[in-house]
Amino acid sequence: MEPVNRARVVTVNVDSPLLSKEPEPALSAALHVERELREAIISLDLQPGSRLSEQEIADRLNVSRQPVREALIALGRAHLVEARAKRGTIVVKISARKMTEARFVREAIETAVVRRACESFDPWMRSTIDESLVLQRAACASGDYTAFRKQDEQFHLAIANGAGCGLAWSVIADLKAHIDRVCNLQLRKADSMPGLIAQHERIVAAIDQRDPEAAAAAMSLHLNGILIDLPKIAASHPDLFE
């Protein structure tokens, strides 16, 4: 899917990896469409301000308009798209306020999760974290910030699951979308990925040492980093922000 200007309806590239996948057998058509569009919005392949055509999306994903409509309603509840009179459905611009609020909630939950992780942690999930760190380093070496973002998500999910707090991650999932769009811009900085990997390693080291105070402090520092970069990111991409 290619970025489009705000003035015209989005044209979906049929060869795009984001919108040419067959639905997973266990997914409903609406959930498949929602996941595809959500990823396109987060990755900024669908840029803020883009207009969305139900029929265009339905044609490209080989579904009827009903699941597309349901997907757009779900994305509307997550405040990623908005239906506007005479303009149709558009991808909302990035809101620094929503992003800051989402980060506040996320920090409250994830610092509590790492404290729990210091009490007990599943060994299999601990090995999954090591695998994620290897893949993060590989993504950093190749400059693949999309792969890095996905591994960053896997890293945090593994901590939640390892601590027995998988439900906590499901609470964060919708909120994360507002952070992730900014994160996608942050990751394009040359020094961003190495710094984030180092922060991840400090979080894991504190969990391994069963030090809840150090783990919570490391997680808080990690999640607050995006706020430091936010003013520069917004100034560099004013057309993407409210």
Give the structural domain span for 65: 1-92
What mean pLDDT value characterizes the chain?
88
Q: Using the 3D structure, point to which of 92, 111, 128 is the last residue of a domain.
A: 92
CATH number, position 24:
1.10.10.10
Spatial separation of the C-alpha atoms in residues 130 and 113, rounded to whole Å: 18
On whether the CB atoms of residues 193 and 148 are closer than 8 A, the answer is yes
Query: Per-residue pLDDT for 12 more than 50?
Result: no
Q: Looking at the structure, do residues 81 and 102 belong to the same domain, yes or no? A: no
Spatial separation of the C-alpha atoms in residues 112 and 198, rounded to whole Å: 21
Contacts of 80 (CB under 8 A, 6+ apart): 38, 41, 91, 92, 177
Structural domains counted in the chain: 2
For residues 130-152, give the mean pLDDT: 95
SS3 122: coil
Read off the pLDDT of residues 146-196 as tens digits, 9 standing for 90 and up.
999 999 999 999 999 999 999 998 888 778 888 999 999 999 888 899 999
Q: Looking at the structure, do residues 184 and 111 belong to the same domain, yes or no? A: yes
For residues 79-101, give the mean pLDDT: 90
Read off the pLDDT of residues 13-41 as tens digits, 9 standing for 90 and up.
334 444 545 555 446 899 999 999 999 99
Q: Looking at the structure, do residues 53 and 135 belong to the same domain, yes or no? A: no
Q: Using the 3D structure, point to which of 50, 70, 92 is the last residue of a domain.
A: 92
Q: Looking at the structure, do residues 6 and 84 belong to the same domain, yes or no? A: yes
Q: Looking at the structure, do residues 126 and 38 belong to the same domain, yes or no? A: no
**H helix runs in 93-211, sequence order:** 96-119, 123-142, 145-162, 166-186, 192-208
Element (H, E) at 9: none
Buried (b) or exposed (e) across 187-203, using 16+ Cβ within 10 A?
Answer: beeeebbeebbebbebb
Q: Looking at the structure, do residues 86 and 156 belong to the same domain, yes or no? A: no
Per-residue pLDDT at 149: 93
Q: Kindly indicate the confidence band of residue 135, based on its pLDDT and cuts at 50, 70 and 90.
A: very high
Q: Looking at the structure, do residues 34 and 83 belong to the same domain, yes or no? A: yes
Burial class of residue 42, CB neighbours in 10 A (0-12, 13-18, 19+)? buried
Query: Which of the residue ranges 6-10, 18-22, 102-106, 208-212 would you say has the lowest mean pLDDT?
Result: 6-10
User: What letter represents residue 49's amino acid?
Assistant: G
Q: Looking at the structure, do residues 141 and 60 belong to the same domain, yes or no? A: no
Q: Looking at the structure, do residues 151 and 75 belong to the same domain, yes or no? A: no
Per-residue pLDDT at 28: 87
Element (H, E) at 16: none
CATH number, position 132:
1.20.120.530
Adjacent-strand bridge partners of 241? 94
Q: Looking at the structure, do residues 136 and 180 belong to the same domain, yes or no? A: yes
pTM tops 0.75, yes or no? yes
Read off the pLDDT of residues 71-80 as tens digits, 9 standing for 90 and up.
999 999 999 9
Q: Looking at the structure, do residues 224 and 181 belong to the same domain, yes or no? A: yes
Q: Using the 3D structure, point to which of 92, 110, 127 is the last residue of a domain.
A: 92
Q: Looking at the structure, do residues 101 and 84 belong to the same domain, yes or no? A: no
Spatial separation of the C-alpha atoms in residues 181 and 134, rounded to whole Å: 24
Read off the pLDDT of residues 191-217 as tens digits, 9 standing for 90 and up.
899 999 999 999 999 999 999 999 999
Per-residue pLDDT at 2: 39
Read off the pLDDT of residues 31-69 as tens digits, 9 standing for 90 and up.
999 999 999 999 999 999 999 999 999 999 999 999 999
